[in-house]
Amino acid sequence: MIAGAAVVAVTGCVAPAPSPGAFEGKAVQTAKAALSSVDTALLASATAVRGRLPQPYLETTLSSAEDSLSSIQTAFDSVQPPATATSDRLRDTLDTLLSRGSDGLAQLRIASRREDHAVVAEATRSLQQVADGLDRFEQEHSG
Amino acid sequence: MKQLLSVALGVLTAIGGFVDIGDLVTSGLVGSRFGLSLAWATLVGVVGICLFAEMSGRVAAVSGRATFDLVRERLGPRAGLANLAASFLITVLTFAAEVGGIALALELASSVNYLLWVPAAGLAVWLVIWRVRFSVLENVFGLLGLALVVFAVALWKLSPSWSDLAHQVLAPHNPSGEGLPTYFYYAIALFGAAMTPYEVFFFSSGGVEEHWTKRDIRTSRLNVFVGFPLGGLLSLSIAATAALVLLPRNIEVDALAQVGLPVAVAAGKLALAAAILGFVAATFGAALETGLSSGYAVAQYFGWQWGKLVRPREAARFHLVVLASTIAAVATILTTIDPIKVTEYSVVFSAVALPLTYLPILVISNDRDYMGDKVNGRVSNLLGSVFLVLVVVAAVAAIPLMLATKAGQ
């Protein structure tokens, strides 16, 4: 019973952020998790370009990264931000990066399946910019 | 010569059989977040599993009876039932994680969604348990699991600074950005993954299935003291490759695909194919062990006929429990719950249940009525007592740390 209660407590709905500081902390955690998904896709794609990753493995890795980023964005968007202009700006900045990341991952997955190397290169460049943006966001707002 | 081959086979099987989905995911995850600074938790867990697996193997060889058979008799029906309930639930949860692991590994090879593989994986596990001889299932999947040695090869091909890796192991520290509760939460997860209770249920029940006698104690000890530590080295290799390839790129493992990526980066497609084979074999072997262990635990507690050496008709209730556990494991994963999350929870809840498994083993292996002159020596008792304190501390701290860190987030 204790185990069940623990799982419910850990996996339950995300509570609204109680303060601007807590909301910023939540945003940093979100950026960190999103960066992990985007960097996974970039590493998988680069390894495939070098001929070191089979197509099924690449497709599975990209789909998994896309799903992961999608659920990260959904969780962040479900948090009610505090009523301050700074929190609204923070939310807009991160949400834009997350949306660009989702679009880039979808583009990369589609292009990889079609083995369209030109679009793969374009999507990779776009995702690298998102990764740099997420990294900067994390650095700027960490402790 | 025949005995030598048997020992070699047993050792190889123990190496391949040590790593399961819990070790794969937890080692990769911890390596990608903490480098090798938590290697000590794996090493402590390996010493613990060696200690208690040796005791349970000796109990099986001397008494001819497996762990749960003696737990009820020695601790009484009430304490035995509480023990059974907790251990059975953890074993079935681990079984579900292993079935999910098989499906995820097959998805990596085929790009067919893992949910479509889950029923096939469950059916294959049940058919193998039902039809295949014990020695065959034990040896084949253990040996195929050895393909995971490719992680050690990948580590070597990555040409790391060995002194830097050794420094991370020998002078552990908590990397900046990770809270101390998170650090210890994952230490407990690694400890729980290494000391998963089903390993001793299976080891002792397997000894009874193979009719071990006092003369087999030496072979059993060799399997334990050589096989499990080498299996632990495989876990450390997985963590080290993740530390070298994923950690510098800010990648935190939350999928099985990420665990294999460093192998592809270091050694290419063939090596990755070996890693996927190792994933399938390790998770399939562990699914067989957890499936059988669920049947062993219930049948031994209630005194039913059990085992693969008797005809299914004569051990119908044992096989019914195995079948029901298989259906429960498959149904759990088919709810679309993330198999990696199931794995993470199963290793932490394993840590919670550790005292229930290991206290009775320590008690029984000191009982002269069962063990005669083969009771624990002073060193075994001293180490056993120290580890009992450790497992109690881990069990008590696991749930509060899980809540405080939101499961290590």
Which stretch of DSSP H or E encloses residue B403? helix B378-404
Q: Which two tokens stand for residue B178?
A: 């990770």
Residue window 65-124, chain A: list those with CB within 8 Å of chain B: 65, 68
The dihedral through the CA atoms of B68, B69, B75, B79 has a sign that is: positive
B110: chain A residues, CB-CB within 8 Å: 56
What does DSSP assign to residue A13? P
pTM of the model: 0.90
* A43 in any annotated domain: yes
Q: Mean of the pLDDT values across residues B139-160?
A: 90
Distance to chain A for B229, nearest Cα, Å: 30
Q: Percentage of residues in chain A with pLDDT exceeding 90?
A: 69
pLDDT, position B1: 59
pLDDT, position A13: 46
Transcribe B323-373 into DSSP letters: HHHHHHHHHHHHTT--HHHHHHHHHHHHHHHHHHHHHHHHHHTT-HHHHGG
Which of A39-53, A111-125, B168-182 is the least confident region? B168-182
Residue B370 and residue B56: Cα distance in Å, rounded?
A: 12
pLDDT tier for residue B101 given thresholds of 50, 70 and 90 = very high
* A75 in any annotated domain: yes
Of A36, A42, A60, the CB nearest to B257: A60
Which of A45-59, B42-56, B75-89, B387-401 is the least confident region? B75-89
CB contact under 8 A, B403 and A10: yes
* A2 in any annotated domain: no
pLDDT tier for residue A1 given thresholds of 50, 70 and 90 = very low
* A5 in any annotated domain: no
* A26 in any annotated domain: yes
Q: What is the mean pLDDT of chain A?
A: 87
- CATH number (domain holding residue A125): 1.20.120.660
pLDDT, position A8: 46
Residue A133 and residue A136: Cα distance in Å, rounded?
A: 5
Of B108, B111, B261, the CB nearest to A43: B261
Q: Is B377 helix (H, G, I), strand (E, B) or coil?
A: coil
Q: Which two tokens stand for residue B220?
A: 């059993």
Q: Is the complex ipTM more than 0.90? A: no
Backbone angles phi, psi at B122, to 5 degrees: -60, -45
Check pLDDT > 90 for residue B333: yes
Q: What is the pLDDT of residues A45-96, one digit of tens each?
A: 999 999 999 999 999 999 999 999 999 999 999 988 888 898 899 999 999 9
pLDDT, position B336: 92
pLDDT, position B41: 94
pLDDT, position A98: 96
Q: Percentage of residues in chain B with pLDDT exceeding 90?
A: 49
Domain span holding position A102: 19-141
Q: What is the pLDDT of residues B248-292, one digit of tens each?
A: 999 999 999 999 999 999 999 999 999 999 999 999 988 998 999
pLDDT, position B8: 63
What does DSSP assign to residue A16? P
Q: Pick the most confident of A119-123, B21-25, B74-78, B226-230.
A: A119-123
Check pLDDT > 70 for residue A126: yes
CB-CB contact of B41 with B391 (8 Å) = no
Check pLDDT > 70 for residue A3: no
Domain count, chain A: 1
For residues B396 and B353, the model is more confident at B396
- Going by C-alpha positions, the residue among B317, B300, B285 that lies closest to residue B209 is B300
pLDDT, position B216: 86
Q: Is A9 helix (H, G, I), strand (E, B) or coil?
A: helix
In this complex, is the C-beta atom of A39 within 8 Å of any C-beta atom belonging to chain B? yes
CB contact under 8 A, A59 and B111: yes
Q: Pick the most confident of A2-6, B152-156, B179-183, B357-361.
A: B152-156
Q: What angle do CA B353, B343, B317 make, to 5 degrees?
A: 65
Q: What is the pLDDT of residues B25-48, one digit of tens each?
A: 999 999 999 999 999 999 999 999
Residue window 302-331, chain B: list those with CB within 8 Å of chain A: none
pLDDT, position B76: 82
CB contact under 8 A, B261 and A40: yes
* A114 in any annotated domain: yes
Q: Which residues contact B133 (CB under 8 A, 6 or more apart)?
A: B308
pLDDT, position B17: 62
* Mutation target among A1, A2, A10, A26 for the B interface, most CBs of B within 10 A: A10
Q: What is the amino acid identity at position A17?
A: A
pLDDT tier for residue A15 given thresholds of 50, 70 and 90 = low
Q: What is the amino acid identity at position B42?
A: T
Q: What is the mean pLDDT of chain B?
A: 88
Which of B159-163, B304-308, B392-396 is the least confident region? B304-308
Residue A88 and residue A84: Cα distance in Å, rounded?
A: 6
Check pLDDT > 60 for residue B342: yes
Q: What is the pLDDT of residues A16-34, one digit of tens each?
A: 557 888 899 899 999 999 9
Domain architecture of chain B: domains with CATH: 2-289+322-404 (1.20.1740.10)
pLDDT, position B6: 63
Residue window 137-196, chain B: list those with CB within 8 Å of chain A: 177
Transcribe A88-121 into DSSP letters: HHHHHHHHHHHHHHHHHHHHHHHHHHHT-HHHHH
Residue B181 and residue B178: Cα distance in Å, rounded?
A: 8
Q: Mean of the pLDDT values across residues B293-322?
A: 88
Measure Cα distances from B61 to B140, B368, B371 in Å. 23, 14, 9
Q: What is the pLDDT of residues B131-149, one digit of tens each?
A: 888 778 777 887 888 899 9
Of A33, A39, A59, the CB nearest to B249: A39
For residues B176 and A124, the model is more confident at A124
Of A6, A47, A56, the CB nearest to B265: A47
* A30 in any annotated domain: yes
Q: Which residues contact B235 (CB under 8 A, 6 or more apart)?
A: B18, B19, B23, B27, B42, B193, B194
* A8 in any annotated domain: no
pLDDT, position B139: 78
Residue of B nearest to A55 (CA): B111
In this complex, is the C-beta atom of A53 within 8 Å of any C-beta atom belonging to chain B? yes
pLDDT, position B201: 81
